[in-house]
Amino acid sequence: MPVLWLFLIVLALAAIGFIAGRMRVTSAGGKRPHSLPNYYGWNVAMKVMVPAYLALVVWLLAQPFLVNSQVVGMLGDRAVPEGSTIGLVMSDVRRVADGLDATVAQGLMTSEEANSIRTEFTDVRDRLGEAGVALGSNVSSEVLSAAQTYRTLNATGNFWMSTVVILLAVGGLAWGITQSHGSFRARNSVETGVRIILLSAAMLAILTTIGIVLSLVGNTWHFFQIYPASKFFGSFTWSPSFGGGSELGIWPLLWGTLYISIIALIVAVPIGLFAAVYLSEYAGPRMRAWAKPLLEVLAGIPTIVYGLFALLTVGPLLLSVFGRDGLGWMQAGTAVMTAGLVMGIMLIPFVSSLSDDIINSVPQSLRDGSYGLGATQSETIKQVILPAALPGIVGAVLLAASRAIGETMIVVFGAGAAARLSLNPFDAMTTVTAKIVSQLTGDADFASPEALVAFALGMTLFIITLGLNVFALYIVRKYREQYE
Amino acid sequence: MTDATSQGGARPSGPSTRLTAADSRTKKRNASEKRFRAYGLAAIGTGLFFLVVLLTSIISNGSTAFMQTFIEVPVYLDPEALDPNGNRDPADISKVSTFGYNPLIQNAVFEQVQDKGIATDYEDAGDMKALISASAAAQLRDRVIANPDLIGETVDFQILASSRVDGYLKGRVGRDSITQDRNIDAGHLDIVDALREDGTVHKSFNFAFITGADASESRPEQAGLGVSMLGSFFMMLVVLFLALPIGVAASIYLEEFAPQNKFTDFIEVNISNLAAVPSIVFGILGLAAFIQFAHLPQSAPLVGGLTLTLMTLPTIVISTRASLKAVPPSIRDAALGVGASKMQSVFHHVLPLAMPGILTGTIIGLAQALGETAPLLLIGMVGYIATNYPEGVISGFMSPNSAMPAQIYEWAKRADPAYYERAWGGIIILLVFLLVMNVIAIVLRRKFERRW
Amino acid sequence: ARDNVQVAGSSTVLPYASIVAEAFGENFDFPTPVVESGGSSAGLKRFCEGVGENTIDIANASRAIRAGEVETCAANGVTDIIEVRIGYDGIVFASQQTGPEFTAFEPSDLYNALAEQVLVDGELVANPHTTWADFNGDLPDVEIAAFIPGTKHGTREVFEEKVLLQGCEDTGAMEAMVAGGMSEDDAEDACMAVRTDGKSVDIDGDYTETLARIDSNPNGIGVFGLAFYENNTDKLKVATMSGVQPTTETIAEGEYPVSRPLFFYVKKAHIGVIPGLKEYAEFFVANEIAGPNGPLANYGLVSDPELADTQSKVSNEETMGSNM
Amino acid sequence: MYDAPLRKTDVEANEIKISAKDVQVFYGDNHAIKDVSVELQDKTVTAFIGPSGCGKSTFLRCLNRMNDTIDVCRVEGLIALDGEDIYDKRVDPVQLRAKVGMVFQKPNPFPKSIYDNVAYGPRIHGLAKNKAELDDIVEKALRRGAIWNEVKDRLHAPGTGLSGGQQQRLCIARAVATEPEVLLMDEPCSALDPIATAQVEELIDELRTNYSVVIVTHSMQQAARVSQKTAFFHLGNLVEYGETSQIFTNPVDSRTESYITGRIG
Amino acid sequence: MYDAPLRKTDVEANEIKISAKDVQVFYGDNHAIKDVSVELQDKTVTAFIGPSGCGKSTFLRCLNRMNDTIDVCRVEGLIALDGEDIYDKRVDPVQLRAKVGMVFQKPNPFPKSIYDNVAYGPRIHGLAKNKAELDDIVEKALRRGAIWNEVKDRLHAPGTGLSGGQQQRLCIARAVATEPEVLLMDEPCSALDPIATAQVEELIDELRTNYSVVIVTHSMQQAARVSQKTAFFHLGNLVEYGETSQIFTNPVDSRTESYITGRIG
Ligand SMILES: Nc1ncnc2c1ncn2[C@@H]1O[C@H](COP(=O)(O)OP(=O)(O)OP(=O)(O)O)[C@@H](O)[C@H]1O
Ligand SMILES: Nc1ncnc2c1ncn2[C@@H]1O[C@H](COP(=O)(O)OP(=O)(O)OP(=O)(O)O)[C@@H](O)[C@H]1O
Ligand SMILES: [Mg+2]
Ligand SMILES: [Mg+2]
Ligand SMILES: O=P([O-])([O-])[O-]
């Protein structure tokens, strides 16, 4: 039975369960049930779906493994040609099996035929080709018989899967319905379920973090085995070279990241905040309806466009003012300033839109309180509304800062690729992120420190931002305890 | 001035101060009010100004991509070349490769030139190659294979002009610049000028740019964004249907239910930290987790969508939490007081009030996901990929595809300047896509906005 | 089961691979191969991840695979690799079409302009040159501004070895360094060190970025691939190197010195499993594609004079390490 | 002394509905309720009186665990409803609050329509089988809240657009709509004019026939009028608890006496 | 500069501080105030009484243009402060509100510390030259608000953590700290116990020596105790306005009479 069918059957059972559970309590009469009828419905539906779908998923994940190992055992080493692996033979087997399925499905072959054909008598590659299934080579008899076994095993597996899943669903249905009497705490049962769902959603963040750490840590380890950590963290020079003898000190990159992010935030936070304040406090509904989504377009423009904007427009513009013909501080159009400014523009909506929503949800009574004391609108905003909205605004600013740290394209185009420690904001610099990308997509030997350093950079940045976040949480907590 | 300690609390200026005539302090405060307001306006103005600058440069660079030069000629489908066996067997016909069709088209154009009596130094039909897109042969071949009966007839055929010819009509290629060009000569441009007079060569709206598939480096005139648009579409479906519910669920848990302990602090810090993880690192994760570990297909929008989901989640979580936090506690109290459960008070009252912020986070998160290239680089969605329309929904998620920003990024790197214009044109489409995507969210957000 | 050929790797090879893949898709019944970009290193890394459907079949590379990478491959079970050289990538020096007269360079000019240390009056000093005319009166008297590939690009290696090192030797700086007590290796490293005072700018992006830089700086000199230059002759003018004009012919004949070979690597174990894999590899190196008159050469690939050898290697599935 | 009419009072026979024993409440370090023990009777109106800030609201919020929502708040001691410890882990605060309804000191209507404000409780408790029944419940609740006449033409206007007193009556209507067994009212008449106050007092009296009502009030007269039992709080202590008539005519504690006699209200 | 205050208590001699003429207020279509004309005297306490929802708060909010913040609210007619039309385009509502302070019906402390809540007004109006002066002003205001003793040890705790009555007094303190010429108080004692009420009433009496006070109250006794003039509103109309003693003893309008005599509180 196709999985989709199974899925729909369980869904249908769940729907039936929902209605039945609901009906049972509504028709029972007598004392008012503990929970709303819908909760009894959901309770039954949950009991139908959760075990059945869980079993379905587990089965779907496990069956290929089991069938594979069965077929592999049957094939033995004999069937694996020189230079190939059992894995590849198996993918051939699967392809032939799928091909047979497709051929049968198209009516080009009966299913008995599919199970009985032999390579000696049929050109399987041709037959499958008719059904639009391309094979890389002719089919050996081992592969064909393995494919046939594969199909039978799968068919059996699918049969049992359907049986088990449907049984579970029916069982859940029965269980749920017997529970559906007035004194059962259906709402609590459903809410516990929902709570678990909410918790697992939050846990996904941890899974992601673990995933990131796992996918970085191996190569980082590798890197530190061939390149001393003391130099990575101790050196102030970043100069990779193919011939070996690279100096890979992280400090210039960290400095660049910090510098560019700060400039970006110096641009984005005031503009974003002022825009948010204006939108939520001063602007008429019409202006707000238009200006806010328009500003949000800034967040949607692909960063490559910003990169080009930095390179072609902002860089030359700054150069004409601060370059040789002007103040003489700037060597070339690409500089920390260029990248920071442009990144700041990109980040405006991150600050403005989010802050606008938060400011807008500050209760009107607080505004009234302040106006009633003869405060001007700006005083009210500065001293009452912004402090009240602060936790949310901090969130928005942190988000913008995070984005600034993670941004690549603008840095690549706007800041130049020079890794250096300098205080002059008109110098070219680069960031950790930009270097992760460039070292990862470069030409260096992938087992060389020049390529592996990307992982070490990623890991270090990850740990640093983690530290910053812990610090930010601490600060926010401390602040929050003061009010509220 | 003020004698605040004096009994009865004298004010600096007696009741006689007129409301319409401000004292110096009020003047100062009003000036600061005006300034503040002006800053706000200036901030919005600055933002919009940059938007306008960016949009004008995008549109001025990219609008030409929507027009394309075509050549309309009758082509004789020579049976000798196309069906040497003369049996109209589709299998045989498909053995003739595109290389077999090229001469037919070149002949057709050359005949047209001669019929119109256009004076030219070229003597060989092969010299017409410079005018014709390499895609023409494939187009013609497809048409013949689909309808073998056409063989032996003369069909009117609209072929794409080569990118240089197109560039000439759009002013990108000039007569002096082509002196260096190996691909086209002044003589060709003379022919183009003449053919344009009688309408054989004409520019018209290029639907294929919006609907078509990517083309190789040597055929910018054929390249379209349609397939990668579908790629983006399927990815965004994944992102929307995973990131939004998961993000909101996680935020609700953290903001409303989580007990204050080390573990939830850990989750909280993790989420904000994920926001600062460079997108390329999510690509590394996506490659490791979805392709190498879970054995999902490479270059598939499903994988791209999953990767972008992980990347977008923190944005949605952070904005959702911020707006949940902003809902006043009295609303929760009110609901709990009539016997609502915590869950009910959240879902019935708090969530709707936090909706504007959630939608904002969604808008920004999706915009970010829609425009992101770097993670796609590692899961195989950047390059020459978007060549085939997916067949059906499942293959839309599973078969190799690119995404709009990746396609644009790729075009921007390609050598032929014709691709430069297409890259900008692609950005226009991307922004339109984004706007369409956001309109629903924006309308919803306006519905949910209220003050209390 | 996957039924399309999956290719990943060098962005330098990508244009050629895309032209081949497109033609392959049009003329064969197999689906159009998927060609990803992402860099030689990343491509080879994924190539060496193992055998099986969830790994790629072909890695494009703008350099030969390294010994260490072959080892990693082997450790992951990727033992039989077919190396296919598809031709050469010419590396050229170009400037704004309407800019100063940069028409002829010697390696020594670039060395004098861009090296960290140069020889002035027999002394090794930190590079004092600010204009090209400072050291070569034939060159324009404009400020030095060079846009060279960043350290992620293989082109940088070629530039360092074939231009800077050569120039170092030509100017005698190398000799002076060795005489000054440096070991041969250190001297080579010193020769290839590029000045960091902003006269030489690393480009980590691609040639479009270099072009944009040149566009906004009339005095700029940039390093490009031949194919890129040939597609942008209206904006760029190319300089000769040691008196030789860079063209596909001069490079193929070995007269123009600055070039590098381009490769792709095929996982032999996948041949016969992934439909169309071998056909694609053969089609790539076929005469009508990779030959001197094929679309690849047309686009700027310097076709390999030994293409016939390569063709037979592919059709015999000769792997690396086996007798060639 | 005090001479407003005392409505009598069949206090004796009622069982104990809520009993509190040695209850302590802390807001962080602030010890807001100190060692309060009290037994509140069924079918009785109990008034909590005492100076502002003495802990009346705090103690009231303990009785249906509304204090759970305040992070810094910690409750110790035993509070039992019908003999069951309400702070027991197995107790579902939701069910508790469905039984023990609350009207808050500051009116807090939902930012929804007036109708939805009142219908919310009955909906989540499934008190109505259909729309008509729900309409009925809403109308009845609004009538009992003495606000029906003012809002019957604008049932679908937002509840936040009402006047202060109207909001307060809306909140009362919202609380009675769910038919709680115990109704906790924190100064329900503070924003009401005398007529509305009288109507609410009538409602309280009516409720008493079936339910228990606890009312916090600053008006001695009101306490005397509506309650059968009175508790006097002072600085977090329950100073005196007893028959209303006795408290007002013959207080035992000197603090009670001075609070009552210093009356102005 | 400023002359020493004249302490006058006799009502007759006082000039007119605020005069309203034909004021209409609409909330969207809802006609909340109909044709109200009234003249409020300086150095006088005027009480607004009337049933809940009759428009007292609405009218009060017109007097310092707090209604400007409600989108749907529209005010017509003339309101003048010291003879100047306050709805004149040239009038700065900020300056107006500095002169005409307000205590709201629902206490709305800022989510700041108690100290900052009170210091907020003096800070923005620049009433203190230095920290010591500001401390003085805050203390004095809190004392006048009759809350100093309760909060003097926790001046830097959040104002939102106070009890309902404490919040209300905090808001009164906050309003008097800016020394307005007219103070509008919307049920300032609704959440207060009798003693606190007495203290606030004392404050009102003290304020009257220099300023005008308008107070909305539901308590007839309170109106009678503190006010010299009383205005009775009914269904948006100003039914009767006059000397408090006259209104309470000898109302002209039958509606006033029935409202007063139907009194309970
Ligand atoms: N923001 C608003 N939007 C719409 N209608 C409103 C609003 N505020 C008040 N009203 C309506 O205007 C009328 C007068 O309200 P107002 O608040 O002035 O009454 P009030 O006399 O202060 O009553 P209370 O003593 O209950 O506070 C009422 O019918 C009320 O419902
Ligand atoms: N959320 C809170 N955080 C900290 N302290 C609080 C909080 N709520 C109340 N308090 C303090 O607890 C004490 C008792 O407050 P409660 O609200 O119970 O007083 P109350 O008797 O209801 O007074 P009122 O009649 O003014 O409403 C007061 O000192 C108050 O400041
Ligand atoms: Mg209270
Ligand atoms: Mg009111
Ligand atoms: O992409 P490359 O490896 O050729 O630089």
CATH of the domain at B277: 1.10.3720.10
Q: Do A309 and B54 touch (CB under 8 A)?
A: yes
In short, whether C153's Cβ falls inside 6 Å of ligand 5 is: yes
The residue type at C307: L
Per-residue pLDDT at B7 exceeds 60: no
Instruction: Quickly list DSSP for D43-67.
Output: T-EEEEE-STTSSHHHHHHHHTTGG
C-alpha–C-alpha distance, residues B193 and B158, integer Å: 18
C-alpha distance from residue C277 to each of A390, C7, C32 (Å): 59, 10, 11
Instruction: Please give the mean pLDDT across all residues of chain C.
Output: 88
For β-strands D84-85 and C236-238, DSSP reports them as unpaired
CA A450 – ligand 5 centroid, Å: 15
A418, C201 Cβ separation under 8 angstroms? yes
Asked if residue C322 has pLDDT above 70, the reply is: no
For residue D240, what are the β-bridge partners?
D232
DSSP at D69: G
Residue carrying the six token digits 């559970």: A21
E62 compared with A104, residue with greater pLDDT: E62
Range of the domain at B159: 67-205
At B3 the pLDDT is 38
Q: Which residues of C touch A446 (CB under 8 A)?
A: 41-42, 44-45, 48, 69, 72
CA A400 – CA A351 distance, rounded (Å):
7
Instruction: Give the burial class of D98: count Cβ atoms within 10 A of its Cβ; 0-12 exposed, 13-18 middle, 19 or more buried.
Output: buried
- The amino acid that residue E228 corresponds to is Q
Q: Output the CA B382–ligand 1 centroid distance in Å.
A: 62
A238-483 maps to CATH 3.40.109.10: no
Q: What is the mean pLDDT of residues A25-33?
A: 76
Q: Are residues B251 and B386 in the same domain?
A: yes
Q: Which chains does chain D touch, 3 or more C-beta pairs < 8 A? A: A, B, E
Dihedral angle, C-alpha B160, B162, B168, B171, nearest 10 °: 80
Q: Whose CA is nearest to atom 12 of ligand 1?
A: E32
Is the model's pLDDT at B13 over the cut of 50?
no
The Cα–Cα gap between D150 and D192 comes to 14
* D162 interaction partners in chain B (CB closer than 8 Å): none
| Sign for the pseudo-dihedral over CA of D67, D73, D79, D84 | positive
Residue A125: its pLDDT value, please? 75
For B:222-251, CB contacts with D below 8 A are none
Position A83 scores a pLDDT of 64
Span D240-254, pLDDT tens digits:
999 999 988 888 888
> What does the pLDDT read at residue B17?
65
Q: Is the ipTM of this complex over 0.90?
A: no
Tokens found for residue A187: 């709402």
CA C78, distance to chain mean position in Å, is 26
B450 membership: H or E segment, kind and range: none
**What residue type is assigned to position A45 of the chain?**
A
Let me know whether B189 and B252 are in one domain.
no
pLDDT in tens, E44-96: 999 999 988 899 999 999 998 988 888 889 999 999 998 889 998 888 888 88
Residue B18 pLDDT exceeds 80: no
What digits encode the pLDDT tens for the residues B175-194?
A: 877 777 777 888 888 888 88
Q: What is the pLDDT of residues C155-213, one digit of tens each?
A: 888 898 889 999 999 988 888 888 888 888 888 888 888 888 878 888 888 888 899 88
In the structure, what pLDDT confidence band is assigned to residue A414 with cuts at 50, 70 and 90?
Answer: confident
Looking up tokens 């198209």 gives: A106
What is the SS3 assignment for E233?
strand
Q: Who among B14, B29, B30 is closest to E2 (CB)? A: B14
User: Same domain for B421 and B373?
Assistant: yes
Q: Whose CA is closest to atom 10 on ligand 1?
A: D162
Ligand 5 centroid vs C42 CA: distance in angstroms? Answer: 9
Mean pLDDT to the nearest integer, B216-227: 89
Question: Which of D92, D125, D126 is closest, CB to CB, to A188?
Answer: D92
What is the distance between the alpha carbons of residues C43 and C40, in angstroms, rounded to a whole number? 5
Do B328 and B196 lie in one domain? The reply is: no
By CB neighbour count within 10 A (0-12 exposed, 13-18 middle, 19+ buried), where does E153 fall? exposed
Q: How far is the CA of C120 from the centre of ligand 5 (A)?
A: 36
pLDDT in tens, E140-156: 999 999 899 889 999 99
Which residues lie below 8 Å from residue C312, measured CB to CB, with a gap of 6+? none
pLDDT at A22: 86
How remote is the CA of residue E61 from the centroid of ligand 3, in Å?
26
DSSP class of E209: T
Q: How is E105-147 classified by DSSP, letter by letter?
A: SS----SSBHHHHHHHHHHHHT--SSHHHHHHHHHHHHHHTT-
Instruction: Please say whether the beta carbons of C252 and C305 come within 8 A.
Output: yes
- The residues in D 1-40 lying below 8 A from B, measured between CB atoms, are none
Asked if residue B382 and residue B266 are part of one domain, the reply reads: yes
Q: Report the pocket of ligand 1 as residue ranges, CB < 6 Å.
A: D 161-166, 191; E 27, 30, 32, 52-58, 70, 72, 105
Residues B198 and B306 in one domain: no
Looking at chain B from residue 242 to 301, which residues have their Cβ under 8 Å from any Cβ of chain D? 260
Crossing angle between the packed helical segments B301-325 and A186-226, to the nearest 10 degrees: 120
Q: How confident is the model at residue B452 (pLDDT cuts 50, 70, 90)?
A: low
Average pLDDT, chain A: 85
- Within 13 A of A339's CA, how many CA atoms are on the CB side? 34
pLDDT of residue A1: 58
Query: Looking at beta carbons, which residues of chain D come within 8 Å of E47?
Result: none
Q: Look over chain D and give the mean of its residue pLDDT values, rounded to a whole number.
A: 87
CB-neighbour burial class of residue A371 (10 A; exposed 0-12, middle 13-18, buried 19+): buried
Minimum mean pLDDT among B88-92, B301-305, C114-118: which range? B88-92
Atom nearest to D28 CA in ligand 2: 4
Mean pLDDT in residue range E4-19:
59
The atom of ligand 1 lying closest to the CA of E59 is 18
pLDDT of D5: 45
Task: Select from C14, C62, C157 the residue to mutate for testing ligand 5; criterion: most ligand atoms less than 8 Å from CB.
Answer: C62
Q: Do chains D and A touch (3 or more CB pairs under 8 A)?
A: yes
pLDDT at D7: 45
Ligand 5 neighbour C39 (Cβ under 6 A):
yes
Whether C149 is in the pocket of ligand 5, judged by its Cβ within 6 Å, is no
pLDDT in tens, D62-82: 998 988 888 888 999 999 999
Same domain, B375 and B259: yes
Burial string for B217-247 (b: 16+ CB within 10 Å, else e) reads bbbbbbbbbbbbbbbbbbbbbbbbebbbebb
Counting ligand 2 atoms within 8 A of each CB, the residue from D25, D30, D60, D237 with the most, and so the one to mutate, is D30
CA C11 to ligand 5 centroid distance, Å: 5
Distance of CA E3 to the CA centre of its chain: 25
pTM: 0.90
Residues of B with CB below 8 A from A203's CB? 267
Q: Which residues of A touch C201 (CB under 8 A)?
A: 332, 334, 416-418, 428
**Ligand in closest contact with the CA of E27:** 1
* Binary contact (D104, B337; C-beta < 8 A): yes
Residues 6+ apart with CB under 8 A from D40: D16, D17, D18, D19, D20, D46, D182, D212, D214, D229
Top residue of B23, B262, B263, B277 to mutate, by most chain A CBs within 10 Å, is: B277
Q: Which of D149, D155, D163, D169 to mutate to test the pocket of ligand 1 (most atoms within 8 A of CB)?
A: D163
Question: Using an 8 Å Cβ cutoff, are B234 and B401 in contact?
Answer: yes
Question: How many whole angstroms separate alpha carbon E65 and alpha carbon E87?
Answer: 8
Residue D29 confidence (pLDDT) above 90: no
Buried b (16+ CB within 10 A) or exposed e, A378-394: bbbbbbbbbbbbbbbbb
Domain ranges (residues) in chain A = 3-183, 185-226, 238-483
Strands (E), chain C: 6-9, 34-36, 58-61, 81-96, 104-105, 117-120, 123-126, 146-149, 200-203, 221-225, 236-238, 240-241, 259-267, 302-303
Start-to-end Cα distance in chain E: 46
Give the contacts of E151 (CB within 8 A, at least 6 positions apart): E114, E142, E157, E162, E166, E170
Assign C293 a pLDDT band (cuts: 50, 70, 90). Answer: confident
Chain A: closest CA distance from residue E53 (Å) = 19
pLDDT score of E174 = 93
- Which amino acid would we find at residue A180? S
Percent of chain C with pLDDT over 90: 31
Cβ separation C192–A134 shorter than 8 A: no
pLDDT band at A460 (very low <50, low <70, confident <90, very high): very high
Average pLDDT over residues B430-434: 91
B451 CB within 8 Å of a chain A CB: yes
Phi, psi angles (nearest 5°) of residue C289: -105, -60
CATH match of D14-259 with 3.40.50.300:
yes
Around Cβ B151, how many Cβ atoms within 10 Å? Answer: 17
Are B133 and B241 found together in one domain?
A: no
Q: Work out the number of other CB atoms within 10 angstroms of the CB of residue A464.
A: 18
B81: pLDDT strictly greater than 90: no
pLDDT at position A421 over 60: yes
Can you give the pLDDT at residue E8?
A: 38
Q: Is the pLDDT of residue A285 over 90?
A: no
Chain E residue numbers touching A365 (CB-CB < 8 A): 104, 106, 108
Nearest atom within ligand 5 for CA of residue C62: 4
pLDDT digits (tens, 9 = 90+) for C142-171: 989 899 988 888 888 889 888 999 999 998
Break chain D into its structural domains and give their ranges: 14-259
Given ligand 1 and candidates E24, E30, E48, E105, which is best to mutate, with the most ligand atoms within 8 Å of its CB?
A: E30
Q: How many domains does chain B contain in total?
A: 2
How does residue A82 score in pLDDT terms, banded at 50, 70 and 90?
A: low
**Residues B410-414: what's their mean pLDDT?**
88
Residue A341: helix, strand or coil by DSSP? helix
Residue of higher predicted confidence among E141 and B121: E141
- pLDDT for the residue D254: 86
Is 80 exceeded by the pLDDT of residue C324? no
Between CA B94 and CA B100 the distance in angstroms is 11
Going by pLDDT thresholds of 50, 70 and 90, the confidence category of residue D167 is very high
Q: Is B130 on the interface with C (CB under 8 A)?
A: no
Tell me which DSSP letter residue A73 carries: H
Pairing relationship of beta strands C221-225 and C146-149 according to DSSP bridges: parallel
Rounded distance from Cα B159 to ligand 4 centre (Å): 78
Per-residue pLDDT band at D109 (split at 50, 70, 90): very high
